[in-house]
Amino acid sequence: MFTYIGLASRSRARMSIRTKKEVVCAILPPHYSPLSERATAFAPVNFALAKYWGKRNEELFLPVTDSFSVAVDAGTTTTVSQAQERDIILLNGNEVGEDQPFHSRLSAFLDLFRPSPLFFFSISTINTIPTAAGLASSASGFAALVLALNSFFGWNCTLEQLSVLARLGSGSASRSIYSGFVHWKKGEREDGMDSFAVPYKGWWEDLRFGIYMVSNEKKIIDSRTAMKRTVATSPLYSLWPENVKTTIDQIKEGLRLKDFSLFGSAVEQNALTMHATMFTSTPPICYWHKDSLETMKRIWKTREEGVNLYFTMDAGPNLKFLFLKSSEKEVIRLFPELSCLSLIP
Ligand code: PMV
């Protein structure tokens, strides 16, 4: 069953919602102004365990499938205040030029929330993860921004509404509103008002994650373009929705039974299916580097030798390792370059 986020008034309920601006108008009060001089918020990076790959609506970032993630102890802290004359954007302390894609993407998102056309923002964003290395910094970035805007303007939005607003910046940002395990429901409605993430109650104290960096170069193709091409051209895409459904069921069952082989193999299988699906797009999409494949082979060999280690990969060449506390020493001995991250409950 999907909950529907109520519209603010009856007259607005009659309006049909087709654009991001219309979603924002349906959720936020008609008039607002800053409550304080500045507001700061943190949002965690989320690791997708069952991936979001493919949109059913390109404008509203509505996914074809549900997805499932877990928050890790890294992310984005964003401070919002008012600026004069133009938007000022700082990324890790350095001002981002107006000609940079990062600036235009953020300013376009901020256009949705300006209380008046000549209201400008100063945004300072600190990431504890490399930007655009396939480690989903855009997810924590848009989620932290929406959380900070909510405090700055005193919108008093629910977390579900904030999840919808974050989704308008980047789909996976809908999940970074929460810590712990998170289930983003794809929703059924055309306007996407029922497409938001909700926290999932399961927890697993002994679960461990590591990031295996193959490269921190900018990705070869952004996920938006890559998804669109996969949906439009891959002959395997029709199999994807069923794969995600099964993965989410298996992950939940693995969590419930604390069965790490079930959990880890479902996660790894889903990532490989996503990459296999994009390989078969026209033109093909391959985020892997030579070392990505080498590392996968080492993981498979390590597993054959009895260490319960799995991986997942997003739209980039880097790997995320999954293992249990009981294998931690052995995994770090075998892969000393691994950066370990804890989960945030
Ligand atoms: O939210 P986007 O547009 O950055 O897409 C994220 C896509 C993946 O990271 C590959 C999968 C996911 O569910 O996060």
* pLDDT tens column, 248-293: 999 999 999 999 999 999 999 999 999 999 999 999 999 999 999 9
- Over 50: is that where the pLDDT of 7 sits? no
- Give the least confident one: 124-138, 287-301, 309-323: 124-138
Atom from ligand 1 closest to the CA of residue 224: 3
**Average pLDDT score, the chain:** 93
> 47 CA to middle of ligand 1, Å?
9
- Over 70: is that where the pLDDT of 3 sits? no
Atom from ligand 1 closest to the CA of residue 173: 1
Measured in degrees and rounded to the nearest 5, phi and psi for residue 275 equal -70, -40
> 339 CA to middle of ligand 1, Å?
21
CB 46 within 8 A of CB 140: yes
Atom from ligand 1 closest to the CA of residue 274: 10
Q: Is the dihedral of CA 169, 175, 176, 177 positive or negative?
A: positive
Residue with CA nearest ligand 1 atom 10: 314
Ligand 1 near 137 CB (within 6 A)? no
pTM as predicted: 0.94
> 216 CA to middle of ligand 1, Å?
17
The best mutation among 52, 64, 251 to test binding of ligand 1, ranked by most ligand atoms within 8 Å of the C-beta, falls on 52
69 beta partners: 48, 182
Tokens of 276: 């296999």
Walk me through the domains of the chain, giving residue ranges and CATH numbers. Answer: 7-199 (3.30.230.10), 207-341 (3.30.70.890)
Instruction: Give the pLDDT band (50/70/90) at residue 10.
Output: very low
Ligand 1 near 125 CB (within 6 A)? no
